[in-house]
Structure 1
Amino acid sequence: MIRKQDGQSLVEFALILPILLMLLVLIFDFGRILYTHLHLEMVAQESVRIGGLGQSDEEIRIYAMNQFHGEESKLQVTITPEDSTRKAGDYITVTLSYPEEFMNVLGEAAIPYTLRTDSTIRVE
């Protein structure tokens, strides 16, 4: 007995398509978060370099906010020690934190993630 199987491939493709699309979105989203993390590291290194040259905490924060290509309101800049207690020979650390959502296409089911990086240098 011979049966027609004209729609079999279409049904199989319809079943696998959501998985393929989710995988594609996952790859692009991971790349977006990786780019943001690498950019955050670069901004932290440049900001701490400014602090190492003797600039104030406010100047470091302004520089970090201006150089970052994301939502500046979400970026948190932490500088230790504060400029009032910092002197030549001490180490300064600039920590940047930025909240992100992994797989934000899922809406409410998105995974919250905080990108955090820091850099340390000696004050001259």
Structure 2
Amino acid sequence: MVRKEDGQSIVELALALPIVLLLLVGIIDFGRVMFIHLNLELITQESARLGGLGRSDEEIRAYAQDRVSLEDPSQLAVNITPSGIRKSGTYVTVELTYTESLLEPLGDMAIPYTIKTSSTIRVE
């Protein structure tokens, strides 16, 4: 007995399409978050370099805020240790923290993710 299988491919597509779309959105969104992470890592290294050259905390913060290209730059936290005047031969650490969410297209199901980068350099 041969049965008609006209709707079989539509049912298979309906079952597989959400999974494929979720994987595609996940790959693209993961790439976006990794791009932000690498961008912040570069800015952190350059900001620490400024601290190593004897720049003030305000100049380092301003440099980091100016160079960053984020959706909400006000969420960027710049932490400089030690703060204030640094002596030659000591180490300065610059840490950038930014809160982002993974799988943003899913709305309320998005996963919060904190990007934290730090760099340390010796003061000249």
Q: Give deviations 1:60-109, integer Å, cap 9, x for gaps.
A: 0000001111122010000000123x111110000000000011112111
- Written as runs of structure 1 = structure 2, the 5 A alignment for 1:100-119 is 100-119=100-119
1:58 paired with 2:58, answer: yes
Partner of 1:31 in structure 2? 31
- So what's the TM-score if we normalise by structure 2? 0.96
Compute the displacement of 1:10 (Å).
Answer: 1.0
For residues 22 and 2 of structure 1, the distance between their equivalents in structure 2, rounded to whole angstroms, comes to 36
2:80 alignment counterpart: 79
User: Which digits, 9 at most, give the CA deviation of each residue in 1:25-72, with x for residues without a partner?
Assistant: 000010001100000000000000011100000000000001111122
1:17 Cα shift? 0.2
Cα RMSD (Å): 0.7
Aligned structure 1 segments of 4 or more residues deviating by more than 2 angstroms: none
Q: CA deviation at 1:3?
A: 1.1
Q: Normalising by the residue count of structure 1, what TM-score does the alignment of the two structures yield?
A: 0.96
Aligned AA for 1:75?
Answer: L
Number of positions where the alignment pairs a residue of Structure 1 with one of Structure 2: 123
